[in-house]
Amino acid sequence: MSHADMVPEAANAPKSPPPEVNAGSGEAELQRQRIRAAYLFLLPMLVMLALVAAWPLFRSIAFSFTDASANTIFNGESEWVGFDNYVERSVRSNGEVRWRGVLVDGDWWNAVWNTVRFSLVSVGLELVLGMLVALVLNAEFKGRGLVRAAILIPWAIPTVVSARMWGWMLNDQFGVINYMMMGVGLIDRPIAWTASSDTAMIAVLIVDVWKTTPFMALLILAGLQMVPRDMYEAAKIDGIHPVKVFFKVTLPLIRPAILVAVIFRALDALRIFDLIYLLTPQSDSTVTMSVLSYRELQQFGDYGEGSTMSTLLFLIITGFVLLYLKIGRVDLAGDKG
């Protein structure tokens, strides 16, 4: 990668005159110049983001108001149908009122419920387990580096690979999980983890928690490391029980770190696609909003309805973020005050 490629641009960039640091007007001029340069520096990024994020988002939302299908998406023959993809009321000749559209679709609400259920349980579990792992890593002991290296492994493994790995381990006939659980007598016959509707969600949760707890743990650990050590020393001298110290001192201090970690994870969980698409492809008990929308778009070629679902997901996530930031008063930009 050569930054030298960009040097010619530097020649065109306005050369700042020698700053008269003490003169008020010179400083103001310098400031103006820096702001001009800042806008120039931001421009390429903004253009790129407009092209790959803002425009496609706008188009996806626009598709949700049309009857676009795989055949009409490119030739402009799709028609504007207003909110019909969301909800459409029609009166039959016999006076019977019919409702159609995503918002009255049982499959959609099933997917919403699955997504919410999955997000709540997975983020909750990851928070508790991540906290435990972080507390362990925050203690000083021999081999701490080794443990930290080990927990980075699940994080580094591609989701597709972990879905495959666990799919194999959870296999009903040859899976090592069934083998182990039968070995210690937890179950008396093999469970079809990924195929059975009772256990499919559990399987997905196991894999997700395994893969993403390390991320949670590392973020919480970073928070823990900012708690001054003297605090613990002082509490120890005062004879306060460690559990009490944790809830009264540590937890309030690492609250910002936890809030940030939770929202990062929650956003990931709400949009989950790959793991469920690969681990439990046919299961109604795990299908999420992203998976359902993808199915509609790619398998059925229904761009109108698929985009309606993706737009609703976008709105739900945006609403969640705004609510969370308001309630948690999270300062993500570190820019306030």
Partner 1 sequence: MQQVWWKTALFYAGVVLIVVIAVYPFYYAVITSLESGTALFTPNFLPEMITFQNYVNVLTQGAFVRSIGNSILIAGVTVCFALLLAVTASYALSRVRFRGRGLLLMTILGVSMFPQIAVLSGLYELVNLLGLYNTPWALVLSYTIFTLPFTVWVLTTFMRDLPIEIEEAAIVDGASPWVIITQVFLPLLWPALVTTGLLAFIGAWNEFLFALTFTISETQRTVPVAIALLSGASQQEIPWGSIMAASVIVTVPLIVLVLIFQRKIVAGLTAGGVKG
**Residues 264-293 close enough to bind partner 1 by CB under 8 A:** 264, 267-268, 270-271, 273-274, 277-278, 289-290, 293
**Considering CB under 8 A, how many residues would be counted as binding partner 1?**
122
**Which residues, in sequence order, are CB contacts of 248 under 8 Å at separation 6+?**
240
Secondary structure class of 69 (helix, strand, coil): strand
Applying CB under 8 A, which of residues 83, 174, 247, 300 lies at the interface with partner 1? 174
Q: Residue 95's CB: how many other CB atoms inside 10 A? A: 6
Applying CB under 8 A, which of residues 140, 230, 238, 335 lies at the interface with partner 1? 335
Q: How far is the CB of 229 from partner 1 (least distance, A)?
A: 17
Asked if 243 is part of the footprint of partner 1 (rule: CB under 8 A), the reply reads: no
Handedness of CA 272, 274, 275, 276 (dihedral sign): positive
Asked if 187 is part of the footprint of partner 1 (rule: CB under 8 A), the reply reads: no
Asked if 74 is part of the footprint of partner 1 (rule: CB under 8 A), the reply reads: yes
Q: How far is the CB of 33 from partner 1 (least distance, A)?
A: 8
Asked if 239 is part of the footprint of partner 1 (rule: CB under 8 A), the reply reads: no
CA angle 258, 262, 268 (to 5 degrees): 155
Q: How far is the CB of 168 from partner 1 (least distance, A)?
A: 5
Q: How far is the CB of 88 from partner 1 (least distance, A)?
A: 20
Q: Count CA atoms closer than 13 A to 16's CA, side-chain side.
A: 16
How many residues does this entry show for the chain?
337
Applying CB under 8 A, which of residues 55, 109, 113, 300 lies at the interface with partner 1? 55
Residues 8-47, one symbol each (x = binds partner 1 by CB under 8 A, - = not), give: -xx--xxxxxxx-x--------x--xxx-xxx-xx-xx--
Asked if 303 is part of the footprint of partner 1 (rule: CB under 8 A), the reply reads: yes
Q: Which stretch binds partner 1 (CB under 8 A): 119-127, 232-240, 244-252, 257-265?
A: 257-265
> Which parts of 81-140 interact with partner 1 (CB under 8 A)?
132-133, 136, 139
Q: How far is the CB of 36 from partner 1 (least distance, A)?
A: 9
Asked if 48 is part of the footprint of partner 1 (rule: CB under 8 A), the reply reads: yes
**Which residues, in sequence order, are CB contacts of 164 under 8 Å at separation 6+?**
278
Alpha carbon separation from 100 to 69, 87, 164, 175 (Å, rounded):
18, 6, 37, 43
> Which parts of 204-223 interact with partner 1 (CB under 8 A)?
210, 214-215, 218-219, 222-223
In the bound state with partner 1, the residue whose beta carbon lies nearer, of 7 and 91, is 7
Reading the block at residue 274, the tokens are 């790959």
**Nearest one of 263, 308, 265, 262 to 289, comparing CA atoms:** 308
Q: Count CA atoms closer than 13 A to 63's CA, side-chain side.
A: 27
- CA 162 to chain CA centroid, nearest Å: 17
Which phi and psi angles does 148 have, rounded to 5°? -65, -40
Applying CB under 8 A, which of residues 110, 125, 138, 148 lies at the interface with partner 1? 148
Reading the block at residue 198, the tokens are 């009772």
Asked if 80 is part of the footprint of partner 1 (rule: CB under 8 A), the reply reads: no
